[in-house]
Amino acid sequence: MEGLRVGMLGCGAVGTGVARLLVEHGRPVRDRAGVPIALQRVAVRDVTRKRDPAVDPTMVSGDAAAVVADPEVDVVVEVMGGIEPARSLILEAIRLGKPVVTANKELLAAHGGELFDAADAAGVDLRFEAAVGGAIPIVAPLKESLAGDRLRRVLGIVNGTTNYVLWRMASTGAGYAEALAEATELGYAEPDPSADVEGFDAAAKCAILASLAFNTRVAAGDVYREGITDVTAADIQAARRMGYTVKLLAIAEEIDGEVSARVHPAMVPDAHPLAGVTEAYNAVFVEGDAVGRLMFYGRGAGGRPTGSAVLGDLVAVARARQQGAKGVGCTCVYRRRVRGMADVDTQYYVALDVADRPGVLAQVAAVFAEHGVSIRSVLQRGKGEEAQLVLVTHLAREGAVQRVLEGLRGLPVVGNLASAMRVEGEEADEVLGW
């Protein structure tokens, strides 16, 4: 039986991982796929650079279009990243009837619609397990295993760098800058960390998760986004005292037929499975009508873990070819409206530095009441000029909470709005009606 010949675009960490795994796991991959899968050609930017021995120098070319067009290439693996030329190369591969496996979350989040439409029209497979959650199988479960359920919400820790930074801040008491410096030194953060710490990477993955979970199309630009740059050591310690852990979450929800997609730091109850996700690990927590709560946990980055996800997709492509199946890109049935952040229900933790005198709580509570935001718990810490009021709200419209925060900032008895952070994963049972 004929093997599957791979044309790979890009050969950085993930590409090298794919090349090495194809060599090291050649036998088990062949056994699972039914045919051998091997690299045929590799397109790189710099042909002079020294490569891993798994990449035969005679395969390497600087001409990506030629790799896509090569009749001896059966399937295209795109691990170059970025928008162009990745987008054009993938469209060309689809036009030629070649299945595509990509790890490019940025491209999918920006131009997924165009790519999936092209793949569906051509009956060509477009697979992207590696684009979200690295080694974690989450794309296939959302598209296939959970296809019989009605999903309600997806909460993901989908960026390892920020999880590492927040975890170090919590475990050592370090500030943001110090923890980030450590992450950079250990290779968990890039020299320019902005795509990670400002939430762009998580937002792209959030768009993909929302699209998969709700069978619709959400683009990265539709995702509300806050990074972790403003999270302070004090926020994290305060969360800890209240039994919460601070995580950067990618949240996709269905609300009355609309979709909300957002990325921001949030306090998660310590008993929630997401709170225990430490180091640079990723996890995706799914709430569905029938399945209840599911969580998928694993390594979200790295050449070998991500490469393994690419290989899983290659095995699926090889099997589909033998079964004579035409490809399915991505069934996207609905055109759902993306709800603006102000109209999403959120729960908040608010800490206020206040003067400890009679009537303060009444004045503070009045601001919440004025905007219809209901308070779940209040705690006063400290005394005199050092006093702090710590409040946790019930679920309320984000817009209303923002008006409350505005009102609190203008209140003379409030010295300082020390902290305001959303709380997630707490009122889930209520939301789901359990």
Binding site for a copy of itself (CB under 8 A): 17, 21, 24-25, 28-29, 31-34, 129, 135-137, 140-141, 143-150, 215, 273, 276, 288-299, 302, 304-305, 307-312, 314-316, 319-320, 323-328, 331, 333-334
Q: For the chain, how long is the longest CA-to-CA vector? A: 83
For the bound state, the minimum distance from the C-beta of residue 4 to a copy of itself, rounded and expressed in Å, comes to 12
Nearer to a copy of itself, 309 or 390 (CB): 309
Distance CA 408, CA 394 (A): 17
User: Among the options 50, 98, 105, 205, which is catalytic?
Assistant: 205
Work out how close the CB of 37 gets to a copy of itself at its nearest, in angstroms, rounded to a whole number.
8
Contact 397, 342 (CB under 8 A): yes
Q: Which is nearer to a copy of itself, 85 or 141 (CB)?
A: 141
Provide the strand spans (E) within 26-67.
37-43, 60-61
The amino acid at residue 177 is A
Give strand ranges (E) for 80-201: 100-102, 126-127, 151-157
Query: Which token pair is 128?
Result: 């992207």
Q: Virtual CA dihedral for 432, 156, 343, 210, nearest 10 degrees? A: -90
Q: Catalytic: 205?
A: yes
- For residue 233, give Cα distances in angstroms to 58, 165, 173, 182: 52, 11, 6, 15
Rounded to a whole number of angstroms, the minimum distance from the CB of residue 157 to a copy of itself is 13
**DSSP code, position 385:** G
Under a CB-based contact definition with an 8 Å cutoff, are residues 2 and 70 in contact?
no
Least distance from a copy of itself to the Cβ atom of residue 203, Å:
24
Omega cis (within 30) before 85: yes
**Residue 95 C-beta: closest distance to a copy of itself, Å:** 20
CB 178 within 8 A of CB 131: no
Cα distance from N-terminal residue to C-terminal residue, the chain: 52
Q: Tell me which residue of 300, 258, 280, 310 sits closest to 75, measured CA to CA.
A: 310
The nearer residue to a copy of itself, 294 or 405, going by C-beta atoms, is 294
Specify the residue, 292 or 372, whose C-beta has the smaller distance to a copy of itself.
Answer: 292
Smallest gap from residue 29 Cβ to a copy of itself (A): 6
Annotated active-site positions, please?
Answer: 205
